[in-house]
Every structure is written in C-alpha cells, then in structure tokens.
Structure 1
Amino acid sequence: MIILVFSIVTIVYLIVIGRLIAGFEKVEKFHLEDIKETTSFSIIIPFRNEAENLPVLLESLSQLDYPKLMFEVLFVDDESTDTSVMVIEHFKKTHAFEYSILKNNRKSHSPKKDAINTAIVQAKHPWIITTDADCKLPKYWLSSFDGFIQKNKSVLIAGPVTYFNKSSFFHKFQTLDFLSLIGTTIGSFGMKKPFMCNGANLAYKKSLFKILNGFENHDHLASGDDVFLLQQAGEKYPNEVHFLKSEHALVKTQPTANFKALKNQRIRWASKTGHYGSAFGKGLALLVFATNMVMVTGIFLSIFGLIPLVTFIKLFFLKSAIDFLFLYKMTRFTSQEHLLKSFVFSTLIYPFYCSAMAIFSLRKQYVWKDRAFKN
C-alpha cells in the first residue's frame, strides 16, 4: 500500500512537471527589434536599508538604453535607518540622473504595498513597472517591455528574474531553487494558468491597478503585491496577462546571505499560498510538498526494510530526472548552465530542505527588513 501511494504521488508529479515544461516551451521567446519607442513607464522602487545594494541598481538605471523623457524613477523610502537616501542623492550629483524620493505613506499591514500605492499616486506615465533595490537591470529592460507591448494586447506583463552568480554552494543551491520557481512561473503562463510572478520585474497598466482597486482585497497580508495582482488581472483579463520571455529583460537580484534569512524569505513566500485564488497554484504547492515528503520518508522506510530500496531508488531517479530537465531549460534560458554541476548534491538535500521549509511556514511568522510579520 505504501509503495502504491508513493508511486501515484511520484507519477502525478512527473505529469504535472512535464506539463509545466511543455508550458515553458509554449511561451515564445521574445526577440528585441530596433523600433521606435512608444511606451512611457513609471519605475517604482520601494527600499528600506539598502545602502549596500543601491549603487549597483543606480548604475544599471543610469545605463538604461531608453529615451529619458519616456520614463521616471520613483524611489519610496520605507523608513530606512541607514544611509540609503544619501546614497541615492550622492549618485545624482555625479550622474545625469533624474528621480524622486517619496516617503512611504503607511496605511496597511504591508509596507511594500503601501510604498507602491504611495508612488502610483505620483506616477505620471500610463505603465507602472516595479523592481527591487537589490537588483541589477539589463540595458534593454524598458526597450524589451516596450517592444512586447507594441506587439501584444497586454494589461500586465511578468518578467524573468534570477540571482547573481555566486561561488558558494549555498548560493548555487538557492539559485537552482529560485530558477525552479521562475520556470514554474513561465510554465504556468504557457498552460494559461498563471498564478505566480515576481515584483522585482513586473509591469502593468496604471489603469488596471485602479480598475482592480489596487491591493484593497489583500492589503491585510504583508506580502503578495505581485501574485495577487496577477491573479486578479488574470481573472478579469485572461488573454491580456503575459510573460516576457527575453534575456534582454532578465533582472538579477541578490540571494540571501545565510540560512536564517533564507528561511524567513521562504516562509514569507509560502505564507501567500493559502490565500491564492488559483486552485492550480494551491494544488501544485501541495503536490511538491507531498512528493518531497515521499522522498524523505522513503529514505527511512527503505533503510528499515519497510519498502524495497530498489523501488525507492527508481522513484527518486524519476523525480530527479524530470527536475533536471526542468532546470536544464531554465539554466539555458538564463545562461547559467554551470549551476547544473551542483545538481546532484542539491537534489539529494532538496527534499529535506523543501519539507522543512513547508513545516516552518505553518507558523506564518517571519522577519523581513528588520520587521516581524504574521500572515
């Protein structure tokens, strides 16, 4: 009976991940063309104590290859206690760079949603595009979104994100895990079941934000400024939410520095799942957890002779094979194929990691930007 249950869970996992891979392939790669720009953007960047990371972001903003009159940059200071504001102001003195720094107008349980609300009130352009203060933007970031908008009828466009390349195994492991989430994002768009995106690279019409009443329906949750807006947009405009699959739109961000920060980050992300309006999103999260629990319990059951070791190895191999194929496609897309050298060790510890994170997230308590939250 145990072997049957384990086999069914693994087979369902193979089928669903196989469908996500097929969905990833269905999302056509967007090729940037040399055309006249027509879209104007308001770039919104909330920040809190990011003095260390802001120089990289500021430099990439100054290098954007896009007409300066067709975009604005709105920084929103969320009660920073370090020199973040000074870093931004100093950059202006040494670069031809225009921006505004706004003070976050706190009204809800979510500092980031309040920050975006604060900026949108001031935004003068029809398209909003958000990113984070610890990111690096590609040179043709805005050009890619503009080109896509000109060719597609869109109200919301999600873009790709990856981590900076780091040398340690801890950072490589995080990147592979993160790429699996981005791959799931792209695959779900290809399946016409989008439920996930990343606010570090997200564009939407300002008019859409107003139509959906912004974050009003979920401002009691500390996170989710990106995914809940996507899910609402997908329900109202199912054919007008898209993924921009282009290396020219690939934003890079920082992995967490230590396990404690990683745990808090993953709890923050997982805490949103129970509030998803997407049945597919909830079901996928449950399936991933169940499959990894099968792998963890299977190890101990096979050690104690309760299930045949050969059977467990076969199930583990099948799961690892589909995971490798999925990550292979993502690392090729992001030009990070070197990460696959860490796959074998990563796949051995991932079931324990995934199961532990799922259990930690049941508390729904985490620390983010030096603040304690509970969803």
Structure 2
Amino acid sequence: MFLIIISITLIYLLLIVCFIYGFEKLKPFKLINLPAKTNFSVIIPFRNEVENLPDLLASINSLEYPKHLFEIIFVDDSSEDDSSKLILKFLADSQIDIKVIQNERQTHSPKKDAITTAIKQAKHGWIITTDADCTLPKYWLDSFDEFIQQTEATCVAAPVTYQLTNNFLNRFQVLDILSLQGATMGGFGLQKPFLCNGANFAYKKETFNTVNGFEGNSNISSGDDIFLLEKMVKHNSKQVQFLKSEQAIVTTSSQDSWQQLINQRLRWASKTKSYNNWFGKVTGLIVLLMNALIIVSILLTIFGIVLPKTLFYIVFIKFNIDVLLIYKTATFYEQREVLRSFLFGFIIYPFFSCYVAFLSMFKTFKWKGRSFKQ
C-alpha cells in the first residue's frame, strides 16, 4: 500500500513539474504593430443567451481590428428567447459585417453542427470560434493576426479565463480553469498539445476541411475543440501552436450553481473516453488517481492503516506543486487575488472531481435546456 501511495504521488509531482517547465518554456507573445493582413470569420453559436449577449456585442463593437478584414457569424441553435432579435437590433446600428444564421442539425452534437454550418458560409480563410457568454479584448484579432504572420501556424489555441467575482463558487471555478490553462500551456510548451478551449480557438478553413472537420466524433455532444485539436496535431503538429498573449485573453462566465457546474463537468467528462491523445489520457488518469489517493489516504488514516505523517506528506506535496502551477497561471491572467481561496478549494476539489468522475459513468446530463446521454 505504501509503495502505491508513494508511486502515485511521485508520478503526479513529476507531471505537474513538467507542466510548470512547459509553461515557462512557452514564451509570451507581444504585439509589434504589424499592418493587419489576415481575414477572419468569427463563429459564435448561441442558444438562449439574451442575458449574456449585450456584453459580448459591446466587446465586438470595441474591437480595434480593421472592420473590412473580419466577419461575425452568429449561429442560432433553436433559441427560445429573444437572442436573435437582440443581435439583429445591434446589427442595424453596426458597421461590422455581422449575420445570424440558423443551425443545420445533422448529428448528436448541436455545437459541432453550428460550427460546421457557419464554416460552409464563411467568407474568409481563417476561422475563430468563441462563445456567446464571452467578452473579447479589443486587440483580440490583432493578436491572432500578428501571431499568424510571424509563425507557420494553421491552428492556434489561445487563453481563456472566467470573470472573477466575490463568491466562493466563482473563485473555485477560476482556480480550476487556471489549473487547466496551466496544463494547456504546459502541454504546448512541452510540444505535446492535448487541451484547448473552443471559446478561443482558431484554424484555417482549408485545414478544417482537410481533416474532415468533426467527422468521427459527431456522436459525442461536446469536444468541438479537443477532438479537432487532436486531428490538427495528427495532420501537422508543428503548425499547431498556442498564442500566449495577455491581449488575446477571452473572458467567459462561470456557472451560477453547483448543479450547473456538475452538469458542465459531466458534459466535459462525456468526451474523455474517446480521446485519441495518449498524453491527454495519461494526464487525466494521473490527476484522477491523485485526487482519489487523497480521499483514500484520509480514510486509511482514520482507520489506522496509514500513518498521519504519510497523509501529511502527500497533502504537502500536492498542495505546494498545485499552488505553484496556479500561481504562475494566475500571474499571467492577472488574477492572483483568487489564491486567497486556494486552501478551501484545495480541500474540496478531490471530493468534487471524484464525485463527477463517478457520476460520469452512468448519469445523463442537461446542457442549454437539453438532456444528453453519456
């Protein structure tokens, strides 16, 4: 038993150290005011987002990029509120090329269908996807443009975080996404990309068509980002890169309740068994085993099977290496104040993650008013 505990702890420690190394190795990208050249089609699927759209539309209106070089395609996925009316009202007063189209459902994944529908109508060679509950920084497209001009990338992942508010549920989610973003950038820095976020993801339309888009995983409700990343990496890994730029950070909204958060994580978990990237699978397994080890070690300590000092060493190692990765990520995102909630979040997270992993084996989940099977 002791050997198993030590092995899992050391493997986890090595994994997070590698991510920290990769995070540092991935150098920040700075704008140098190159003349804008790249044409973008920005795709935004939405369903019942009337409350979130005003912030997104305001941020679109504030984009500094030349208006003739990009278009915005909103894809209405059977909204039951006034989302489309709100966008059309904004469109009437805007000089930006914006249109609203209806989703053409073909598969079990509404979002993948929405993106595919929009790509067929996209005028430009570069596709960028984001979400309707996001806000975009004013130099968002400038950052992508200069990065594309200075690299040979055909697929670019970029940073995402949650808006930080003054309640624990929000801060818990911010800590979680910072850890995910740290692992994401760490993976790219190690030249083993395995994570990205569809709220800030760009690729050439030509490459999307070359890898046959979402074909092969359309039966899975989520994964419009990671499955496509896997295909892009397999096609040409050297052209898949991460835009580590503070001016490209997209901000999105956290979930408003624990039940919504659990449903979101069940949705994410629904795609994990279909990953083809071995590094991503191994990473997920190691992280889950480490969280489970914390819970098991607590129980074994209570029953006198494991010495209290063994539990202390396990928790001490995990706490310090986790806080180091999150500190580095929080510094990049300028969200270090969230670290005040790290201790409480650290205590809760093993139970939360193992609970979600257990539920994901058999429970259906709801998302955007629809029910999905695992």
Q: Percent identity?
A: 48
Query: Which amino acid is 2:303 matched to?
Result: F
User: CA–CA distance in 2 between the matches of 1:355 and 1:219?
Assistant: 27
Are 2:127 and 1:147 aligned? no
Could you say what secondary structure the match of 1:99 adopts?
Answer: strand
Are 2:87 and 1:68 aligned? no
Contact residue 188 and residue 195 of structure 1 kept, 8 A: yes
Deviation, 1:364, is 5.5
CA offsets per residue over residues 214-267 of structure 1, 9 Å max, x none?
111111111111101100110110100000000100000000010111001001
Which residue in 1 is equivalent to 2:333? 334
Deviation, 1:365, is 2.0
Structure 1 gaps, min length 5: none
User: CA–CA distance in 2 between the matches of 1:321 and 1:355?
Assistant: 21
Contact residue 271 and residue 364 of structure 1 kept, 8 A: no
Contact residue 180 and residue 326 of structure 1 kept, 8 A: yes
Which residue in 2 is equivalent to 1:210? 209
CA offsets per residue over residues 149-172 of structure 1, 9 Å max, x none?
011001100000000011101110
Structure 2 gaps, min length 5: none
Could you say what secondary structure the match of 1:237 adopts?
Answer: helix
Could you say what secondary structure the match of 1:219 adopts?
Answer: coil
Deviation, 1:101, is 0.3
User: CA–CA distance in 2 between the matches of 1:256 and 1:350?
Assistant: 16
Are 2:43 and 1:37 aligned? no
Which residue in 2 is equivalent to 1:313? 312
Which residue in 2 is equivalent to 1:285? 284
User: CA–CA distance in 2 between the matches of 1:347 and 1:225?
Assistant: 29
User: CA–CA distance in 1 between the matches of 2:356 and 2:328?
Assistant: 25
Which residue in 2 is equivalent to 1:366? 365
User: CA–CA distance in 2 between the matches of 1:232 and 1:97?
Assistant: 32
User: CA–CA distance in 2 between the matches of 1:339 and 1:97?
Assistant: 36
The equivalences for 1:122-271 within 5 A come to 122-271=121-270
Contact residue 220 and residue 270 of structure 2 kept, 8 A: no
Query: Which amino acid is 1:277 matched to?
Result: N
Deviation, 1:179, is 1.0
User: CA–CA distance in 1 between the matches of 2:321 and 2:54?
Assistant: 39
Contact residue 105 and residue 114 of structure 1 kept, 8 A: yes
Contact residue 188 and residue 241 of structure 2 kept, 8 A: yes
Query: Which amino acid is 1:106 matched to?
Result: R
Deviation, 1:328, is 0.3
Deviation, 1:35, is 1.1
Which residue in 1 is equivalent to 2:24? 25
User: CA–CA distance in 2 between the matches of 1:106 and 1:120?
Assistant: 14
Query: Under a length normalisation based on structure 2, what TM-score does the superposition of the two structures give?
Result: 0.98
Query: Which amino acid is 1:42 matched to?
Result: S
User: CA–CA distance in 2 between the matches of 1:207 and 1:105?
Assistant: 21
User: CA–CA distance in 1 between the matches of 2:180 and 2:364?
Assistant: 22
The alignment's C-alpha RMSD in Å is 0.9
Deviation, 1:10, is 0.6
Could you say what secondary structure the match of 2:361 adopts?
Answer: helix
User: CA–CA distance in 2 between the matches of 1:318 and 1:335?
Assistant: 25
Are 2:97 and 1:101 aligned? no
Query: Which amino acid is 1:157 matched to?
Result: V
User: CA–CA distance in 2 between the matches of 1:344 and 1:317?
Assistant: 12
User: CA–CA distance in 2 between the matches of 1:211 and 1:96?
Assistant: 33
Could you say what secondary structure the match of 2:74 adopts?
Answer: strand
Could you say what secondary structure the match of 2:344 adopts?
Answer: helix
Contact residue 130 and residue 201 of structure 1 kept, 8 A: yes
Contact residue 70 and residue 97 of structure 2 kept, 8 A: no
Query: Which amino acid is 2:104 matched to?
Result: N
Are 2:94 and 1:82 aligned? no
Could you say what secondary structure the match of 2:237 adopts?
Answer: coil
Deviation, 1:96, is 3.5
User: CA–CA distance in 1 between the matches of 2:328 and 2:269?
Assistant: 24
User: CA–CA distance in 2 between the matches of 1:280 and 1:235?
Assistant: 13
Contact residue 268 and residue 364 of structure 1 kept, 8 A: no
Deviation, 1:98, is 3.2
Deviation, 1:374, is 1.5
Contact residue 31 and residue 246 of structure 1 kept, 8 A: yes
Query: Under a length normalisation based on structure 1, what TM-score does the superposition of the two structures give?
Result: 0.98
How many residue pairs match? The answer is 374
User: CA–CA distance in 1 between the matches of 2:212 and 2:96?
Assistant: 32
